[in-house]
């Protein structure tokens, strides 16, 4: 309960911020970023989503936090669009099941894009497999409505959930994101290598782009490149950065 009121206060007083982790292509050029939510706690310092998103969901605060997050992401896209080094970048945002399922989600996104003037074509929504298990029709209808506005969809943590592969082709996805648990030992473990290889070819055969997350070493990257993966995110390239640090990094890579 104490944390709940602290979260409400953070919402009211600008206590959240976003960090941006670069996503790169085969050349190492930045093609986008994932927005990662942080809570700047007055005493505890930076608090990570694992520690407060579940509580925020239970407390019914996730739509308000989600609104802030989408607004901030769209403001960032508008800022980026004004500078040559960042103008082409896409931004991925994490949307929880509860947020996506909310009846007001699509209109919330619409309103925020209209209010900020962000290019919807640069906004990518990361969903997880749990969204595919239940109420596929609701998921599909909302995805199609958002796709019609230009948004794209990435399936996060792919391979760790329980979704049927049949759903993949029934939903208008744009990208598969290989979960970092497979990437971790991809260069040394035969099973992880086989799963990763299968995900990459599945994605490409379905016409989706494939991004690997949690890429930490050159060995992992070399394996992924050899298997045809074309986008990468992880500490090998960069940790999540504050907005200011991200701009400086994009400039240095441009």
Block residue for tokens 């949307």? 95
What number of CA atoms fall less than 13 Å from residue 132's CA on the CB side?
25
Minimum CB distance to ligand G, residue 164 (Å): 21
For ligand G, the closer of residues 51 and 170 by Cβ is: 51
Minimum CB distance to ligand G, residue 84 (Å): 27
Minimum CB distance to ligand G, residue 156 (Å): 5
**What secondary structure letter does DSSP report for 174?**
-
Please choose, out of 4-12, 42-50, 101-109, 142-150, the segment that lies near ligand G by the rule CB under 6 A: 42-50
Beta carbons of 184 and 236 less than 8 angstroms apart: no
Q: Which of 6, 72, 129, 213 binds ligand G (CB under 6 A)?
A: 213
**What secondary structure letter does DSSP report for 134?**
S
Q: How many residues bind ligand G (CB under 6 A)?
A: 20
What CA–CA distances, in Å, run from 254 to 89, 213, 250?
A: 12, 22, 6
126 lies in the binding site for Na ion (CB under 5 A): yes
Beta carbons of 225 and 190 less than 8 angstroms apart: no
129 lies in the binding site for Mn ion (CB under 5 A): no
| Binding stretches for ligand G (CB under 6 A) | 21, 36-37, 48-50, 53, 69, 94, 96, 156-157, 180, 213-216, 234-235, 240
């Amino acid at each position: 309960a104490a944390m709940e009121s602290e979260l409400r206060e953070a919402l009211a007083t600008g206590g959240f911020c976003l960090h941006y982790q670069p996503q790169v292509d085969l050349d190492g050029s930045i093609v986008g970023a994932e927005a990662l939510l942080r809570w700047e706690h007055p005493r505890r310092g930076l608090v990570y989503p694992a520690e407060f998103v579940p509580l925020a969901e239970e407390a019914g605060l996730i739509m308000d936090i989600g609104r802030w997050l989408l607004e901030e992401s769209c403001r960032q896209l508008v800022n980026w669009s004004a500078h040559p080094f960042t103008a082409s970048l896409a931004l991925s945002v994490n949307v929880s099941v509860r947020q996506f399922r909310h009846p007001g989600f699509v209109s919330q996104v619409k309103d925020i894009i209209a209010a900020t003037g962000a290019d919807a074509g640069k906004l990518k929504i990361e969903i997880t497999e749990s969204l595919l298990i239940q109420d596929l029709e609701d998921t599909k209808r909302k995805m199609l409505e958002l796709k019609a506005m230009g948004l794209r969809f990435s399936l996060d943590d792919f391979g760790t959930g329980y979704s049927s592969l049949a759903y993949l082709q029934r939903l208008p996805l744009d990208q598969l994101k290989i979960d970092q648990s497979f990437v971790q030992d991809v260069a040394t473990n035969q099973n992880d290598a086989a799963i990763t290889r299968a995900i990459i070819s599945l994605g490409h055969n379905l016409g989706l782009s494939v991004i690997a997350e949690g890429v930490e070493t050159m060995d992992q990257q070399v394996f992924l490149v050899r298997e045809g993966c074309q986008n990468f995110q992880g500490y090998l390239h960069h940790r999540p950065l504050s907005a200011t640090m991200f701009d400086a990094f994009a400039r240095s890579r441009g």
